[in-house]
Amino acid sequence: MAEKTRAQAVYEELRARILDGRLPAGEAIRERDLAAELGVSRVPIREAMSPLELAGLVSVTPRKTAVVTTITRRDVDELYDIRAALEPLVARTAATAVASGADPTALLAVVDAASDALDARDLRTFHVESGRVHGAIEAIAGNRLFISTMGPLNERSNRLNIANMSTDPSVRHDEHVRLAKAIGEGDAQLAGSLAHAHVEWGRRRTIATLSDVPGFIAEG
């Protein structure tokens, strides 16, 4: 197995452990122990630290020790402030692209997959498919900088959503359905408005469940 492939596998394993709390906030990631557990060298573990740090999941000290990050209310507001500024722009750009001939089929297919998972009450699959909606919108928008910028923000959102993925899933899904419909119809103004509303409702859902988010610490 190539080292790049090993590094990606390590990244995905550590990401999963952080998101579900198996690696708690403040926990140091011990390279030697982890390498022995996963059956890899320390090289792919070190390579996995950069994308984990970019995603806000770990912080790396000057001595190169990686520690799982905490989450504060300030972190949440900063994330949603950025999302509220960027996601309406992405949605408007995607809708404009559709109006000019871009194909929204992939976005609509992701929304349909989320619908099927919700109907089956498979909330884990629903959470995964719902998370793909934003990537599908970014793909239609076609701006590579959007994609590279939104990736780390989406990872931060995924960490927060772990606590509220079962909270009113049909409400969250209806927001995605309306947003995808507006983009699919090429209505840029409506798409931007719905995207902004979706972010702000997401902020409310997140704040309501913050105490259940692995890694959250109350300030003060």
Domain parsing of the chain, residue ranges: 3-68, 73-212
pLDDT, residue 4, reads: 59
**C-alpha span between 110 and 100 (Å, rounded):** 21
Which residue shows structure tokens 């969250």?
172
Which class would CATH give 73-212?
mainly alpha
What CATH number was assigned to the domain covering residues 3-68?
1.10.10.10
| Percentage of the residues of the chain whose pLDDT score is greater than 70 | 97
Span between the terminal Cα atoms of the chain, in Å: 47
Q: What is the pLDDT of residues 109-154, one digit of tens each?
A: 999 999 999 999 998 899 889 989 999 999 999 999 988 888 888 8
Residue 60 has pLDDT above 70, yes or no: yes
Stretch 173-195: mean pLDDT: 98
pTM: 0.84
| Percentage of the residues of the chain whose pLDDT score is greater than 90 | 62
What is the torsional sign of CA 174, 178, 183, 184? Answer: positive
**C-alpha span between 26 and 17 (Å, rounded):** 13
